[in-house]
Structure 1
Amino acid sequence: MTESITAHRTRFRGLVDKIADARRGDSSETVAAAFLLVATVVALIWANSPWGETYQSFWHTPLSITLGDQGIELDLQHWVNDGLMALFFFVVGLEVKREFAMGELRDRSRAAVPIVAAIAGLALPAALFLLLNPTGPEAAAWGVVISTDTAFVVGLLAVVGPARAVRLRIFLLTLAVADDVGALAIIAVFYTDELRIGPLLVSVAGLALIASLRGLRVWRGAGYGLVSVVTWVAMYESGVHPTLAGVMIALILPVYPPRRREVEHAAALTRAFRQSPNPEYARAARLGLERAVSVNERLMRLHQPYTAFIIVPIFALANAGVVLSSETLRAAATSSLTWGIVVGLVLGKFVGITTASAVFAKLRPGSMTPGLTFPQIAGGAALSGVGFTISLFIVDLALDDPALADQARVGVLSASVIAALLGWLVFSLGNRFAPPPAEPSLDLLRRVSPKRDHIRGPVGAPLTIVEYGDFECPFCSKATGSTREVREHFGDQVRYIFRHYPLDDYHPHARYASEASEAAAAQGKFWEMHDMLFLHSDALERDDIDRYAADLGLDMDRFEDDLRTGDFVTRVEDDELDALTSELPGTPTFYLGVEGRVPQRHSGPHDAATIIRELEAMRAAARRPVAD
Structure 2
Amino acid sequence: MTSDVTLNDRPKPRVEPDASLPLPLQPIDRLLRPVARILHIEATSGIVLVLCTAVALIAANSSYAETYMAFWHQHVRIEFGGFVFDHTLHHVINDGLMAIFFFVIGLEVKRELVHGSLSDWRQAMLPFAAALGGMVVPAGLYLMLQYDQPGMRGWGIPMATDIAFVVGCLALLGSRVPHSLRMLLLSLAIVDDIGAILVIAIGYTEAVAVPYLMLAAGSIGMVHVFAKLGVRRFPPYIVVGAVAWYALHQSGIHATLTGVVLGLMTPARAVLVPERFREYLQFKQRDFSDQQWAQQRHRAKVVREVQRLTRETVSPLEYLEVTLHPWTAYVIMPVFALANAAVVIRPEQIGDSVALAVMLGLVIGKPLGIVLFSWLAVRSGLARLPHRLPWRMLVAGSCLAGIGFTMALFIDGLAFGEAGLDTAKIGVLIGSAVSAVVGMALLYWASAAQHD
Alpha-carbon shift at residue 262 of structure 1 (Å): 5.2
Q: CA separation in 1, counterparts of 2:48 and 2:384?
A: 36
Q: Give the C-alpha shift of residue 165 in structure 1.
A: 2.1
- Residues 242-281 of structure 1 show CA distances to partners (whole Å, capped at 9, x for unaligned) of 1111111111121115643653465456645544543222
Indicate the SS of the match to 2:421. Answer: helix
Counterpart of 2:307, as a letter, is: R
Q: Distance in 1 between matches of 2:389 and 2:209?
A: 49
Asked whether the equivalents of residues 113 and 367 of structure 1 are also in contact (C-alpha less than 8 Å), the reply is yes
Q: How has the CA–CA distance of structure 1 residues 108 and 267 changed in structure 2, closer, same or farther, with 3 Å as cutoff? A: farther
Letter in 2 for 1:408: A
Report how far residue 162 of structure 1 moved. Answer: 5.9
Q: Which residue of structure 2 lines up, in the alignment, with residue 263 of structure 1?
A: 277
Query: 2:272 touches 2:312 (CA, 8 Å); kept in 1?
Result: no
**Alignment counterpart, residue 451 of structure 2, candidates 436, 439, 442:** 436
Q: For residues 233 and 276 of structure 2, what CA distance do their matches in structure 1 show? A: 15
**SS, match of residue 255 in structure 1:** coil
Q: Distance in 1 between matches of 2:174 and 2:152?
A: 34
Contact 2:125–2:382 (CA<8 Å) still a contact in 1?
A: no
Shift of 1:299: 1.3
Q: Name the structure where helix makes up a greater proportion of residues.
A: 2
Residue of structure 1 aligned with 2:136, choices 110, 123, 148 = 123
Residues 90/401 of structure 1: CA separation in 2 closer, same or farther (3 Å cut): closer
Q: Which runs of 5+ in 1 are unaligned?
A: 1-23, 438-628
Matched letter for residue 425 of structure 2: R
Return 275-284 or 310-319, whichever deviates more: 275-284
Cα root mean square deviation, aligned? 2.1
User: Which of 323, 329, 332 is the aligned partner of 2:350?
Assistant: 332
Q: For the residues of structure 2 that align with 1:366 and 1:116, how far apart are their CA atoms?
A: 9
Number of aligned pairs? 408
For normalisation by structure 1, the TM-score amounts to 0.62
Partner of 2:110: 97
Unmatched tracts of structure 2, length 5 or more: 1-36, 294-298
* 1:368 equivalenced with 2:381 (yes/no): no
Q: Amino acid of the residue matched to residue 244 of structure 1?
A: L
The amino acid across from 1:287 in the alignment is R
Output the TM-score relative to the length of structure 2. Answer: 0.86
Indicate how the Cα distance of structure 1 residues 265 and 126 shifts in structure 2: closer, same or farther if over 3 A, else same.
farther
What does residue 39 of structure 1 align with?
52
The letter for the 2-side match of 1:343 is L
* SS of the residue 1:29 aligns to: coil
Given the alignment, which residue of 375, 380, 384 partners 2:397? 380
* CA–CA distance in structure 1, aligned partners of residues 78 and 144 of structure 2: 43
Contact 1:220 1:295 in 2 (8 A): no
The aligned residue for residue 279 of structure 1 is 300
Of stretches 161-170 and 389-398 in structure 1, the one that deviates more from structure 2 is 161-170
- Identify the structure with bigger relative contact order (alpha carbons < 8 Å, sequence gap 6+): 2
Measure the CA separation in 2 of the matches of 1:143 and 1:294: 34
In structure 2, C-alpha distance between the alignment counterparts of 1:266 and 1:371, rounded to whole Å: 46
Change (3 A) 1:272 1:344: farther
- Pairing of 1:461-476 with structure 2 (within 5 A): none
- Cα distance, 1:146 vs. partner? 0.9
Aligned to 1:9: none
Counterparts of 1:215 and 1:401 in 2: how far apart (Å)?
39
CA contact (8 A) 1:266 1:285 kept: no
Q: Would you say 1:345 and 2:345 are equivalent positions?
A: no
Quote the sequence identity (%).
35
**CA gap 1:168/1:270 in 2 versus in 1, 3 angstroms:** farther
1:205-284 alignment, distance < 5 Å? 205-257=218-270, 259-260=272-273, 263-264=277-278, 267-268=281-282, 271=285, 273-275=287-289, 276-277=292-293, 278-284=299-305
Q: Which of 310, 316, 340 is the matching residue for 1:319?
A: 340
